[in-house]
Amino acid sequence: MKQKVITTIIFSILILTVSGVSRAETDQLSYHLLQGNWEQIIRDGESWAEREPENPSPHYFIQIAYYSLNRMDEANKSHRRISASPESAKTMRNIAENLILNNPDNPYAYILMEYVHFYAEEYEDMIIALNRALEIKPDYGPAYHDLAVAYSSLGNEEKALQLALEGINNAPDSLANYMYAGTVYRTRGNMSEAERILKKGIEKNRQAGEHTAYLHHQLSIKYIQSSEYDKAADILEDGIRISPDKEILYVLLGDAYARLGDFEKAAEAYSKAYKKADPGEKNLRNLIEIRKRSLGKQ
């Protein structure tokens, strides 16, 4: 059975190469995608991206791999790179179609296709691809999150939340669904449920090796909105330990300390936020400066 699968994968790669749609690097990453070799995809994909920084193609594979490993911050870097070149979906569509044609029972072929649909804003087709992936592998957590995004994009927020919660139940180690559900509950004002889910996600993040502070970010906003500034400061300090270059964490930490009346720590946090912010983010830097200047008036 294993030999049959490998033969099918190789046959798929040959089709891609002969058709002229792909190249050696894409063939290699396609092979590892079908096998779920996430670390190998990251190594080979990052190497390719470094050699060809203007080419968004490797970032499709890299993003899938990072999300599969709960490394959200790194996945978002690839997301931003792909978003800057949405036309790349045309090339990746051919690759995904061939992978599905020759590997119809491989869930990750459909995951690559759903990414193509997402960047082409084809949300109904994205849902079809994701449902097929989950039929094959119902414990693949990122697929529930992506389904939630698709339904949300179509205006069905209740279905989106339901899917994120299903993802938490069916794939409890996948962080993306805690992020989605916790953020939705927070924005809806259901603070107790937001806190419960985000804290559960933070514990899962800790068990997974702590690759992201997004859950800390969202929980800190909940605490600030609930006037629990000491809790906000504590969770932000922990988040900064994980992601020391995330400027938004320092901004929120400054806000929390300012509300606690500790203006010295607030000023220090704002100064660090300003240094961490990209010089091109002028609006953010101006916002930080305004916050810091306001400390002298309190």
Tell me what the pLDDT averaged over the chain comes to. 91
- Would the pLDDT of 242 be above 70? yes
Query: What confidence category does residue 297 fall into, taking pLDDT thresholds of 50, 70 and 90?
Result: low
Query: What confidence category does residue 298 fall into, taking pLDDT thresholds of 50, 70 and 90?
Result: low
pLDDT in tens, 211-229: 899 999 999 999 999 999 9
Q: Which helix (H) or strand (E) holds 104?
A: none
Query: What confidence category does residue 86 fall into, taking pLDDT thresholds of 50, 70 and 90?
Result: confident
Domains and CATH numbers, the chain: 1-123 (1.25.40.10), 138-212 (1.25.40.10), 229-298 (1.25.40.10)
- Check if the beta carbon of residue 229 is closer than 8 Å to that of residue 259: yes
- Would the pLDDT of 1 be above 80? no
Residue 208 has a pLDDT of 85
Percent of residues, the chain, with pLDDT higher than 90: 81
Sign of CA dihedral 11, 35, 138, 121: negative
User: In this structure, what are the phi and psi dihedrals at residue 171, rounded to the nearest 5 degrees?
Assistant: -140, 70
Residue 75 vs residue 6, higher pLDDT: 75
Please classify residue 158 by burial: count the beta carbons closer than 10 Å to its beta carbon, then call 0-12 exposed, 13-18 middle and 19+ buried: exposed
CA distance 254 to 294: 11
Residue 4 tokens, joined: 């049959």
Average pLDDT over residues 260-286: 93
